[in-house]
Structure formats: structure tokens, C-alpha cells
Amino acid sequence: MDYKRTEIRERLEEWIMQSVHNDDEIIKNYKTIDPEKDEERYWSIFNHILNGCFEDNTEYDMTFDEACKWIGDARMVYQLEDFVEENDGDVRELRGNPVGLVSDYVKIIGEELVHEWMSNPKYSYDH
């Protein structure tokens, strides 16, 4: 699903660039890691990025009304619920909870984008 994927990718890119600017050594010095050869390090860095960009970031902490606006129409609610259910399991607790739906959707897309970035860290900069 590509709903707002570009927006979410841009958020990740901004976070990566800001992390480099703030001398985040993990991001600044990251080189591609084969998760099969160094699984522990790979997942440590993955979680650092995912938590920093998507879970600890307040950009996706929305009110009910903000989440409804972000989602759009009722058709998109069903599409997002289907997507979250396919990728993350049970969505019963998300029904009628647009805030949780946005959060879960962004996290799933964020996970995909972090994996993509880690396989091709084009936003790491050498200073």
C-alpha cells in the first residue's frame, strides 16, 4: 500500500539528515549490514531508527480529529484496516480508533522504509 508513503519516507529522510547533523554516530557512520551475518547489530540499528523516527516522534501523535483528517474518507479507513490486518494482525481494537490506525499504519510503512534505507543508506553523509 502506498497511501502517504512518500510523506512517511520524507519524514524518515528528514530524521536521518537531522540525526547526521546532530552527530548521531549510529546514523552518521552506518554502512550496510548483512542481517544474516550480524543480526544483533542490524536489529539494534533498525530499532534505533524506527523508534527515533516513528515511535518517539510526536509528529504522528494525533488527536482524533487530526487522525480522521489524515486518513481521509471512510473508504480509506477500510483500506488501512485491511492493510494493517494483513501486516500486523488483529485490528479489532483499531475499529473506531483512527489515532491507533494511523499509528499502526505509519509504523508498518516505517518498518519497510527503514529496511530499504538500511540496505541502501543513501542519506548517510560523510563529513
How many C-beta atoms lie closer than 10 Å to residue 62's C-beta?
A: 18
Segment 4-10 mean pLDDT: 94
Q: Is the dihedral of CA 45, 46, 52, 53 positive or negative?
A: positive
pLDDT tens readout for residues 97-121: 899 999 999 999 999 999 999 998 8
pLDDT class of 93 with cuts at 50, 70, 90: confident
31 occurs within a structural domain: no
82 occurs within a structural domain: yes
Give this prediction's pTM. 0.86
Segment 34-51 mean pLDDT: 91
Give helix 5-21 / helix 98-119 axis angle, nearest 10°. 60
68 occurs within a structural domain: yes
99 occurs within a structural domain: yes
The angle at the Cα of 54, spanning 7 to 58, to the nearest 5 degrees, equals: 90
Residues of the domain holding 52: 5-26+38-119
126 occurs within a structural domain: no
pLDDT class of 94 with cuts at 50, 70, 90: confident
| pLDDT at residue 123, as a whole number | 56
10 occurs within a structural domain: yes
| pLDDT at residue 67, as a whole number | 94
Model confidence at 127: pLDDT above 50: no
| pLDDT at residue 125, as a whole number | 45
Rounded to 5 degrees, φ, ψ at 68 are -60, -45
Q: How many domains does one find in the chain?
A: 1
Q: What radius of gyration, in Å, describes the C-alpha atoms of the chain?
A: 16
For the range 46-50, what are the long-range contacts, defined as Cβ-Cβ under 8 Å and sequence gap of 24 or more? 46/114, 46/115, 46/118, 49/12, 49/15, 49/16, 49/114, 49/117, 49/118, 50/107, 50/110, 50/111, 50/114
Segment 44-73 mean pLDDT: 90
124 occurs within a structural domain: no
